[in-house]
């Protein structure tokens, strides 16, 4: 027995020694780290350790930024082979490789270096690179293996993408399968070869996006070029093709991410706001989708009335398809080429050059020689110079269809512009020249007439506009900018019509006083929700602009994300991310759907709404009062995460302002606080009252506006308070909930909800206090006072709520919804 105890003590000592003895940023052959321990780079920029992504319980070895929150993973070792428990450990193997072992000492992942050296050291560098070094000769610059050569979904400064011809190494990013699963997904991002290099996003083997051809200075599509804050380094020679970027002297934390949906963004960390901000995005518009307009056409993101138009001299292959906004079939020549009668070239200035499908390259040839070479071959469709650096030109010849041409968003002038020369029949070019001459004469005539009449009309127009602005509703406080936020992406009407199938009734998913909401799907497959204001909408122009300005700037996981806007003629629309589980009221008040909302999901929703409100009230740059918080304005994503929506009634407080008063009360009966509904006074405590109503609704599964006690006349809030006072709080709970499972949490949420709906604003807690009370069971909470609108007792000795059932109290200037 004594020997067994000694043996156990030895094992315990060795285990303790293993988990406590390791260097800060290195692992030597006699050291290891276990789950719960970390390596930290010398400058404390990166951490290597074990983590579980999203809602997964699997364990992975990864690298992440040390000083950003939430956890931002940049590399994963065992992407394809997760650990099922927390018994994994990392060490140096007998062959000198880095090895990840599970609890049974089986190898889960290994660096598998090409050189077998027994004395090695693993080190996490301050660049985020995990390296394996030869420790036998003290030469720490000799990397046997490095994680930068095995990227995941993130590109860091100093990492390379590309090909090494000698070693056959191909470096590219691969997306995660999902937020819960870092195994390789469907999308990849890297350098595509085939004549001249270009950056491509692939879904499997299909091109989804391409940067344009490398022309010796930059990639040909000008809108792809990275910000000047970053230094790009592109190397093309006989041995390798590689791209990397660094921050130069800039110490800003940056990363480039390929997400699970195949979108690429470069992010910058803001130390003041403690958030990531996107400074560059691939596939940010429809024209970024490869071949969106079909062959022999040009995509113009600001084109009207259509995104796509045929190259001059070409016509739609199917006019019927084009009339239905289906451009995939592209265009064909209006007049066929005829080498014997001579062809000429149409110059397209500064376009993204077509993809290299069928092509020739001549490196030592100028543009004039390139034109002659193209004319020699009757199959040559277009030409352009291939290199704009150092006086070199080069010649590119295209054969067959010209695919994926677009007008870049950012123009680049000077010698860096590459123009495309498209071959047309001579007769077609002469016809084009004639039409242009007639149009020019007509334009001059119309211009002269218009100038005369325009001067006369200008004065009256100015007077009309001034008068109209004076008669419009005074803009909401804090919304001094009356224009659409310039950072908000704008969708043209054609795109929205195509996405929603012309606002078909089958796609309608909601309707209110403002108008209707439609589900849609963009050409690249992204699902959207389109809020289309009706012409008689109760949300006027100032309210619409207010919502646009707000949602464009707000970024929080519990606020709905706006993708863009559409303002064209009388149309005013907002395009949001689509929420697959609709709004909270669709679930909580439906007897069948509410059965799927167990207590954990309801608590998650309550906490999410609270965090979103805290951001609006305290953590955003300005204090924002929502003023119309209700269950129908809480949207739920595919993982049941709540997102606050509909900011049309929102009000901004700036500086030290904490409350305001209005004569135009707008909101929803039942959710409005007493001081706002009766006197027009509102503050952050008005939103707290609305939040409390929602909490009581979530707990009970009952609607505030439809509940009336069968024996008394009080409303849902009064009913809840009486049950609380009488010591019968669990009688309020939805029958679908099991109170015996989490009764303490249920009671705490009910008490917090009743504290939020107290009559006096000063008695209600702030949202920071609400989150603290909900998350700390050991804290003693105050007893709630009577709720708002609780005024008298009926003859049945039940507390009466004034506007319950019969809506006895009415409010003038009320715009109830």
Q: Which residues are annotated as a binding site for ATP?
A: 531
Catalytic annotation, pick one of 288, 401, 628, 734: 628
CA–centroid distance for 545 within its chain? 21
Active site annotation includes 343: no
Helical packing angle, 767-775 and 739-756, nearest 10°? 160
Whole-angstrom CA distances from 6 to 10, 12, 19, 116 are 6, 10, 20, 38
Please choose, from the candidates 599, 762, 593, the residue with its C-alpha nearest in 3D space to the C-alpha of residue 675. 762
DSSP, res 70: S
C-alpha–C-alpha distance, residues 141 and 124, integer Å: 13
The H or E element spanning position 144 is strand 143-146
- Name which of 211, 248, 209 is nearest 230 in CA terms: 248
Decide: 91 and 82 in contact? Cβ < 8 Å: no
User: Which residue in the block uniquely carries the two structure tokens 């509102």?
Assistant: 682
Peptide bond into 522 cis (omega under 30): no
Sequence-distant (≥ 6) Cβ neighbours of residue 393 within 8 angstroms? 365, 366, 367, 370, 385, 386, 387
472-491 in b/e burial notation, b at 16+ Cβ within 10 A? eeeebebbeeeebbeebebb
- Within 8 A by CB and 6+ apart from 167, the residues are none
CB 225 within 8 A of CB 411: no
- Cβ neighbours of residue 434 closer than 8 Å, sequence gap 6 or more: none
Asked if 514 and 520 touch (Cβ cutoff 8 Å), the reply is no
The angle at the Cα of 71, spanning 68 to 76, to the nearest 5 degrees, equals 120
- Contact between 634 and 609 (Cβ < 8 Å): yes
- Using the CB atoms, write b or e for 583-607: b if 16+ within 10 Å: bbbbbbbeeeebeebebeebbbbbb
CB neighbour list of residue 666: distance below 8 Å, 6 or more residues apart:
538, 627, 628, 649, 814, 815, 817
Please say whether the beta carbons of 311 and 297 come within 8 A. yes
Q: What's the rounded Cα separation, in Å, for the pair 608 and 643?
A: 8
Strand partners, 566: 573
Residues present in the chain in total: 817
Give one word for 194, left, alpha or beta, with left for phi > 0 and alpha for psi -120 to 50: left
Across the beta sheet with 343-348, the strand order is 343-348, 420-425, 380-385, 395-399, 359-362
Report the C-alpha gap between 88 and 106 in whole angstroms.
10
Angle, nearest 10°, between helix axes 716-725 and 739-756? Answer: 120
Per-residue CA distances from 342 to 251, 348, 429 (Å) = 58, 20, 11
Tokens of 712: 């008394």
Letter string b/e over residues 61-86, b meaning 16 or more CB atoms within 10 A of that residue's CB: bbbbbeebeeebbbbbbbbeebbeee
Q: Take residue 602 and report the two structure tokens written for it.
A: 């309801």
Of 642, 528, 644, whose CA–CA distance to 587 is shortest? 642
Return all residues near 340 (Cβ < 8 A) that are at least 6 apart. Answer: none
- What residues contact residue 163 under an 8 Å CB cut-off, 6+ apart? 169, 170, 171, 191, 193, 240, 241, 242
| CB 575 within 8 Å of CB 527 | no
Active site residues: 628
């Amino acid at each position: 027995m004594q020997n067994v105890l000694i043996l156990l003590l030895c094992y315990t000592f060795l285990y303790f020694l293993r988990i406590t003895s390791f260097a800060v940023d290195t692992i030597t052959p006699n050291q290891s780290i276990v789950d719960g321990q970390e390596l930290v780079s010398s400058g404390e920029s990166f951490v290597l350790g074990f983590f579980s992504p999203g809602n997964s319980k699997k364990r992975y070895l990864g690298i992440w930024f040390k000083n950003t929150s939430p956890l931002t993973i940049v590399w994963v070792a065992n992407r394809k082979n997760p650990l099922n428990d927390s018994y994994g450990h990392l060490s140096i193997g007998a062959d000198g490789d880095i090895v990840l072992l599970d609890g049974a000492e089986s190898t889960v992942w290994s660096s598998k270096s090409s050189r077998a050296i027994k004395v090695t050291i693993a080190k996490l560098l301050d660049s985020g690179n995990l390296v394996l070094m030869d420790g036998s000769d003290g030469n720490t610059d000799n990397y046997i293996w490095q994680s930068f050569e095995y990227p995941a979904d993130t590109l860091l400064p100093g990492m390379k993408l590309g090909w090494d011809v000698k070693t056959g190494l191909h470096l590219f990013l691969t997306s995660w399968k999902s937020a819960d699963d870092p195994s390789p997904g469907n999308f990849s991002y890297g350098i595509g070869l085939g004549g001249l290099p270009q950056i491509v996003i692939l879904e499997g083997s299909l091109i989804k996006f391409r940067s344009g051809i490398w022309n010796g200075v930059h990639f040909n599509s000008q809108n792809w070029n990275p910000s000047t804050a970053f230094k790009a380094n592109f190397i093309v020679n006989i041995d390798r093709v590689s791209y990397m970027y660094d921050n130069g002297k800039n110490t800003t934390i940056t990363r480039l991410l390929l997400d699970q949906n195949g979108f690429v963004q470069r992010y910058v960390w803001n130390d003041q706001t403690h958030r990531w901000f996107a400074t560059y995005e691939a596939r940010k518009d429809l024209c970024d989708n490869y071949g969106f307009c079909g062959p022999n056409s040009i995509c113009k993101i600001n084109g009207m009335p259509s995104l796509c138009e045929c190259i001059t001299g070409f016509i739609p292959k199917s006019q019927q398809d084009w009339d239905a906004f289906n451009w995939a079939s592209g265009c064909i020549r209006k007049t066929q080429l005829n080498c014997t009668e001579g062809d000429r070239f149409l110059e397209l200035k500064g376009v993204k050059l077509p993809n290299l499908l069928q092509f020739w390259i001549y490196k030592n040839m100028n543009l004039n020689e390139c034109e002659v070479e193209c004319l020699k071959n009757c199959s040559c469709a277009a030409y352009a110079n291939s290199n704009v650096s150092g006086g070199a030109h080069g010649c590119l010849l295209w054969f067959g269809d010209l695919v994926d041409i677009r007008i870049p968003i950012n123009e680049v002038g000077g010698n860096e512009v590459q123009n495309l020369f498209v071959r047309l029949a001579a007769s077609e070019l002469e016809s084009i020249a004639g039409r242009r001459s007639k149009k020019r004469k007509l334009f001059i005539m119309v211009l002269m007439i218009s100038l005369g009449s325009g001067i006369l009309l200008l004065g009256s127009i100015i007077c009309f506009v001034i008068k109209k602005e004076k008669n419009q509703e005074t803009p909401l406080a804090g919304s001094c900018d009356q224009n659409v936020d310039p950072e908000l992406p704008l969708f043209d009407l054609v795109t929205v019509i195509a996405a929603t199938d012309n606002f078909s009734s089958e796609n309608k998913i909601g309707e209110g006083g403002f108008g209707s909401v439609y589900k849609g799907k963009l050409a690249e497959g992204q699902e959207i929700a389109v809020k289309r204001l009706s012409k008689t909408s109760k949300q006027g122009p100032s309210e619409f602009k207010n919502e646009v300005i707000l949602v464009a700037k707000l970024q929080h996981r519990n606020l709905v994300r706006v993708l863009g806007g559409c303002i064209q003629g009388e149309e005013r629309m907002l395009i949001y991310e689509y929420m697959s589980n609709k709004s909270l009221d669709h679930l909580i008040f439906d007897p069948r759907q509410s059965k799927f909302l167990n207590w954990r999901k309801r608590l998650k929703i309550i906490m999410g709404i609270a965090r979103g409100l805290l951001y609006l009230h305290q953590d955003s740059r300005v204090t924002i009062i929502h003023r119309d918080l209700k269950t129908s304005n809480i949207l739920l994503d595919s993982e049941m995460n709540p997102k606050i929506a509909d900011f049309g009634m929102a009000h901004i407080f700036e500086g030290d302002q904490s409350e305001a008063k209005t004569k135009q009360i707008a909101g929803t009966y039942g959710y409005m606080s007493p001081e706002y509904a009766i006197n027009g006074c509102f503050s952050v405590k008005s939103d707290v009252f609305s939040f409390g109503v929602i909490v009581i609704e979530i707990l009970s599964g009952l609607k505030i506006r439809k509940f009336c006690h069968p024996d008394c006349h009080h409303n849902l809030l009064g009913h809840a308070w009486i049950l609380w006072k009488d010591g019968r709080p669990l009688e309020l709970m939805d029958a679908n909930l099991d109170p015996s499972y989490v009764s303490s949490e249920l009671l705490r949420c009910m008490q917090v909800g009743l504290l939020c709906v107290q009559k006096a604003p000063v008695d209600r807690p702030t949202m920071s206090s609400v989150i603290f009370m909900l998350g700390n069971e050991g804290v003693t909470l105050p007893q709630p006072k009577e709720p708002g609108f609780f005024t008298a007792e009926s003859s049945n000795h039940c507390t009466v709520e004034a506007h319950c059932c019969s809506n006895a109290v009415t409010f003038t200037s009320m715009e109830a919804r």
